[in-house]
Structure 1
Amino acid sequence: MSHEIELKLTLPQKSLPALRRHPLIAEAPRDGRACTLENTYFDTIDLELRERRMAVRTRKAGSRWLQTVKCAAESVAGLSARPEWEQPYANACFDFSAIDRDDVRKRLEELQPRLVPVFTTHFRRETVILTPREGVKVLAMIDNGHIEAAERSQPLCELELELVEGDPAELYALAQQLAETLPLTPENVSKAERGYRLFSNHALRPAKARPSRLAAEQSPVDAFRIIGFDCLALWQANESGARESDDPEFIHQLRVALRRLRSALRLFSPALPADFVSRWSDGLKEAADGLGAARDLDVMLAEVLSPVAESGLADEATQRLIAMAVDRRDREKTAAREQLLAASHGRQMLALAADLYGLESDALVKSANLTTFARLQLTQLRKRARKRYAAAADLHPDKLHELRVSLKRLRYAIEFLLPLLPEKATVRYANELAEIQDTLGYINDEAVARGRLKAWAGKDPELRSGAAFVAGWHAPRIARLRRNILPTLEPVLWGKSPWRR
């Protein structure tokens, strides 16, 4: 058995000539001649191997045939390490006897009679050997081709950096050098997973934050690193969808990933290097702001304008405003997609991954008790929310929005730290916060839309009438919610907190 450690990067096919011309690639020695690889992936009819996160593959390279078995690997910012067994494939017959993990071997031998071809990958591979310094050796493999399944096809264009000798951090260093001039994006989805999606004809779906993986024995810096990589994975997953799909949920969840990262930075800032916090607070804000306009217009259409249109009461002026919103939304989506395709976007992901991987803590931080740290930070966040509550007593939209932001940061912190806290009471508390946060979100969305529609209408009397109609349609509900929001929130902020002993 070997352990494959590699960093997978995607790039547009049109950028391949530039990649080949890059000094790191062009001046490196070749590892043999370029070759065409034909790979067939096998599974049972009901995809039991996929369910168990295992892969069985045959590969034809020239006249040679190989059999490869791979097991599940956690991919973080494109970097993965997985157990792999490779051997000659002879007589069109699988042989799993050499697999030295009993559970894997027995399962495959049980399933062997039912294994059938599921999908294939065909690509041309060019390999060069990178030795940036003594003790470091990396294979850079350029794969260009396609995946085929069930009479469907999908292009494939990747750069894989496979560690032969050295520290995995070297892979990020090389990737960042290449990404200075190339549109490289770290990719967590394997060729096998892409093949299964194509076989099943499942469209890419927006990803949501997964449950926290923290444990009490971790240091605050280790805990932040885990949260940071989870947020980066969420960012990556939705970035891929936002580039390929018009579903607004991809951009929404991408911005959620960035907001969660920024919240985690604030939450753990007492334990993190000050320059790290400063650098990434600014960088992540800039990334989120660049995608904000498209998301804001999607929300305006869905939450403010569409309900009016669906009521059947929208007049011609309101329909004109809706058409203006759709046009501006579509233009902002195009701009957001261009931002995601820009080389700078991939560079930022790689830089964050490298910084997270190399993040260190001093002896004092390492000795800190994570559960105690969590309780102290949550208490501080609730105190800040109380201050925002007091400032919002006049129900001004801007103050209510600031209150909403403080509640969101408190909720994100609870979600990050949940494994360290009493589960039932804490989940109930977080759900109460989420419900109030949603109400404040609607109040803010209506206020922002009201200002935007007024600006669009300008001096046009018909459009001004339409903007006033939309505001009037929402006014009764807004008045009721504004009147009740602070009394509803008061017992949540001043009642017993579930993380206090």
Structure 2
Amino acid sequence: MSHEIELKLALPHRALPALRRHPLVSAAQKLGNAVTLDNTYFDTPALQLKARKVALRIRRQGRRQLQTVKCAAVSSGGLSQRPEWEQDYTGAFDFGAIDQPEAAQLLARHHDALVPVFTTRFRRETRVYSPREDLRILMMIDTGEVSLHTPDGVERSAPICELELELEAGQPLDLIELAETLASDLPLMPADLSKAERGYRLFLGTPSTAVRAEPSAIDATQNAVDAFRTLAFSCVRQWQANAAGALEHTDPDSIAADFIHQLRVSQRRLRALLKLFAPALPATFVADWSVRLRENANRFGDARDLDVFHAELFAPVAPEGLADEASFSALASTVRRAREEARAHACHNLDMATQGRLLLGLTADLHRLTIDSLIQAADLRTFARLRLDRLRKRTRRLAAAAETLEPTRLHALRIGFKQLRYAVEFFAPLFPARAVRRYLEAVVVVQDTLGFLQDVDAAQQRLAAWVAADARLAPAAAFVLGWHAARYARLRRRALRESTPLLSGRKPW
């Protein structure tokens, strides 16, 4: 068994000439001529290997055939490490060399049911990057496609255009630093999906969907920096998956709003995480990434805000027979144009090169974090309790200030609850699960209440700006706000009442 450590980077086909001309690529030693690799992936008809995250392929290169088995890898920022078994294929599967019991038993049990599922065919150019004796990285440029032909005659395919960096000697950080250098000049995006995973998606016909935040996977044996790194890599995976998903929908009229929303969620969670763990982290690291993540989220804010305005405040209004029809029609046109413009702006800002540089930069900085003896000795549960207590006290002060029911102070309270919620979610594995779950459920109720109030306040400002530009919209704008006025008044009074037990009562940590 060997352990494959690689970093996969997607790039647009038009960027291939620039990649080949890059000084680090053009100066690297060629490993022979480019070769065409034909791969057939096998599984049972019920995809039982996929269910256990095992991939089996036969690769044909010239006259030689190789059997490869790979197991699941945790991938983040495109960097993955996975066990791999490779041997010559002589016409029949041989799993005798697989020394991981679960994988060996799985393959042996389903040996006779294995059938071809999909194929990949790509041209591979390989170079060796070795600037010093203890560092050797294979640079492999792959271009081709994943394809399949179903029994009912349906053909599907998806393009392959990527740069794989495979570590033969050195440290994982060396891969990331090489990728960082290349990405400073090229549109390279870390890609966590393997060719096998892309093939299975094609086989199943499953469209990519927005990726929500992963549950916290920290444990009490970790120090604060390692816990932070675990949580940050989780956020990076959410960011990367949603950036990639949004890039698949480049038409402003069809871009999936949920991808943009979840991308922004990943930025908010990362910023909250930086504040939460700030005492254990370098101040410059916290300050730098707080700014960069806020600026990145702001690239997409208007599109999401207008989607919320339309879905939550405009679409539910039923104007028939009551509203000024001409005014309401004009407002509907204004809303539609504003959403189209905001989505076009989001598409323009969703740049592969920018997202790739940010993802690689943060991934590299996470790997570079060091742990001093004080942090190493600190108890993670104690650290968590101190940080959660501090956040709860801060939110309690915000609640006291919000008793005036002023919109800006209610909005500040909403942000306070959001940060408290993220913190409880991050530290959840350290405390009793049932108590944490109940507390979070109550926090979400308050956050939703405050969220509606903020949406109405933001809508009032947006509608006022539109009316100032076009007086015809005034009757319809007043109708929309009036439609929500009773609920708004009721929830303003409820918000502080719901907050009190969460900020002064029993806590789950």
| TM-score tier (shorter) | over 0.9
Q: How many residues align?
A: 498
Which residue of 413, 420, 444 corresponds with 2:423?
413
Q: Tell me, yes or no, if the aligned pair for 2:49 and 2:106 is still in contact at 8 Å.
A: no
What is the distance in 2 between the residues matched to 1:75 and 1:139? 19
Tell me which residue corresponds to 1:185: 189
Query: How many Å apart are 1:341 and its aligned residue?
Result: 2.2
Letter in 2 for 1:227: L
Change (3 A) 1:495 1:61: same
Matches within 5 A, 1:155-166: 155-166=159-170
Pair 386,23 (structure 1): closer, same or farther in 2 beyond 3 Å:
same
Residue 133 of structure 1 corresponds to 132
Q: Residue 292 of structure 1 aligns with which residue?
A: 301
Amino acid at match of 2:53: R
* 2:182 partner letter: L
Within 2, Cα distance between the matches of 1:447 and 1:318? 20
The residue type equivalent to 2:80 in the other structure is S
Within a 5 Å distance, the mapping from 1:480-495 to structure 2 comes to: 480-495=490-505
Q: How far apart are residue 343 of structure 1 and its match? A: 1.3
Please state how far the C-alpha of 1:105 moved relative to its aligned partner.
2.0
C-alpha offsets along residues 169-223 of structure 1, whole Å, 9 cap, x if unaligned?
Answer: 0000100010011010111111111110010000111111111111111100010
Q: What is the correspondence of 1:9-408 to structure 2 with a 5 Å cutoff?
A: 9-91=9-91, 93-149=92-148, 150=150, 151-245=155-249, 246-309=255-318, 315-408=325-418
User: 1:462: Cα distance to partner?
Assistant: 2.0
Q: 1:342 to 1:69 in 2, by over 3 A?
A: closer
Deviation at 1:310, TM superposition (A): 8.1
Whether the 8 Å contact between 2:189 and 2:352 is mirrored in structure 1 is: no
Report the 3-state secondary structure (helix = DSSP H, G, I; strand = E; otherwise coil) of the residue aligned with 2:33: coil
Give the whole-Å Cα distance in 2 for the aligned partners of 1:100 and 1:449: 61
1:402-441 equivalent positions in 2, closer than 5 A: 402-441=412-451
Counterpart CA distance in 2 for 1:121 and 1:96 is: 22
User: How far apart are the structure 2 equivalents of 1:459 and 1:87?
Assistant: 70
Q: Deviations over 1:432-479 (max 9, x none)?
A: 011110111111011101111110121533211111111111111111
CA distance in 1, matches of 2:469, 2:267: 38
Shift, 1:319, TM fit: 3.0
Distance 1:38 1:426, change over 3 A: same
1:230-277 per-residue CA deviation (whole Å, 9 max, x = no partner) reads 000010111111112322111111111110000000000001011110
* Residue type of the alignment partner of 2:261: H
Contact 1:321 1:453 (C-alpha < 8 Å) held by counterparts: no
User: Residues of 2 paired with 1:120 and 1:84: CA distance?
Assistant: 19
State the 1:83 CA deviation: 0.6
CA contact (8 A) 2:9 2:164 kept: yes
- Match of residue 252 from structure 2: none
Is 2:506 the partner of 1:496?
Answer: yes
Contact 1:339 1:345 in 2 (8 A): no
What is residue 463 of structure 2 aligned with on the other side?
453
> How far does residue 294 in structure 1 lie from its aligned partner after superposition?
0.8
Q: Tell me, in whole angstroms, the C-alpha distance in 2 between the residues paired with 1:415 and 1:290.
A: 26
Q: Which amino acid aligns with 1:119?
A: F
User: Which range moves more in the overlay, 289-298 or 337-346?
Assistant: 337-346
SS in 2 for 1:162: strand
Percent identity (aligned): 52
Q: How large is the RMSD of aligned CA atoms in angstroms? A: 1.3
Worse-matched range after superposition: 383-392 or 236-245 = 236-245
Q: Deviations over 1:12-49 (max 9, x none)?
A: 11111110110111111101110111111000001000
**CA distance in 2 between partners of 1:89 and 1:13 (Å):** 33
Between 334-343 and 411-420, report the one with greater CA deviation.
334-343
Note if contact 1:219-1:366 (Cα within 8 Å) is conserved in structure 2: yes
Of 149-158 and 335-344, more deviation after overlay is shown by 335-344
Structure 2: distance between partners of 1:488 and 1:313: 35
Any conservation in 2 of the 1:318–1:470 contact (CA below 8 Å)?
A: no
8 A Cα contact 1:301 1:322, kept in partner? no
CA 1:61–1:471 in 2, change beyond 3 Å: closer, same or farther?
Answer: same
Query: How far apart, in 2, do the equivalents of 1:313 and 1:127 lie?
Result: 69
In structure 2, what is the Cα distance between the partners aligned to 1:400 and 1:148?
53
TM superposition shift of 1:492: 1.7
CA-CA distance at 1:344 after TM superposition: 2.0
Q: 1:60 is paired with a residue of what secondary structure? A: strand
3-state SS, counterpart of residue 277 of structure 2: helix
Name the CA distance, whole Å, in 2 between partners of 1:312 and 1:255: 39
Residue 75 of structure 1 aligns to a residue whose secondary structure is strand
Partners in 1 of 2:141 and 2:212 — Cα distance? Answer: 31
Aligned-partner SS, 1:307: coil
Q: CA deviation at 1:312?
A: 7.8
Letter in 1 for 2:460: R
- How far apart, CA to CA, are the structure 2 residues paired with 1:492 and 1:310? 39
Q: Structure 2 unaligned runs (5+)?
A: 250-254
Deviation at 1:313, TM superposition (A): 5.4
Q: Any conservation in 2 of the 1:8–1:186 contact (CA below 8 Å)?
A: yes
Q: Distance in 1 between matches of 2:360 and 2:350?
A: 14
Tell me: CA distance 1:85–1:492, structure 2 relative to 1, closer, same or farther (3 Å): same
CA deviation vs aligned residue, 1:119-170 (integer Å, no higher than 9, x gap): 1111111010001333100000000111112411111111000000011100
Greater displacement, 458-467 / 483-492: 458-467
Shift in alpha-carbon separation, 1:34–1:400, aligned structure 2, 3 A: same
Give the drift of 1:337: 2.3
**Alpha-carbon separation, structure 2, partners of 1:404 and 1:268:** 21
Offset, 1:428: 0.5
Structure 2 residue matching 1:131: 3-state secondary structure: strand
1:443 aligns with 2:443: no
Shift of 1:320: 2.1
Code of the aligned partner of 1:47: L
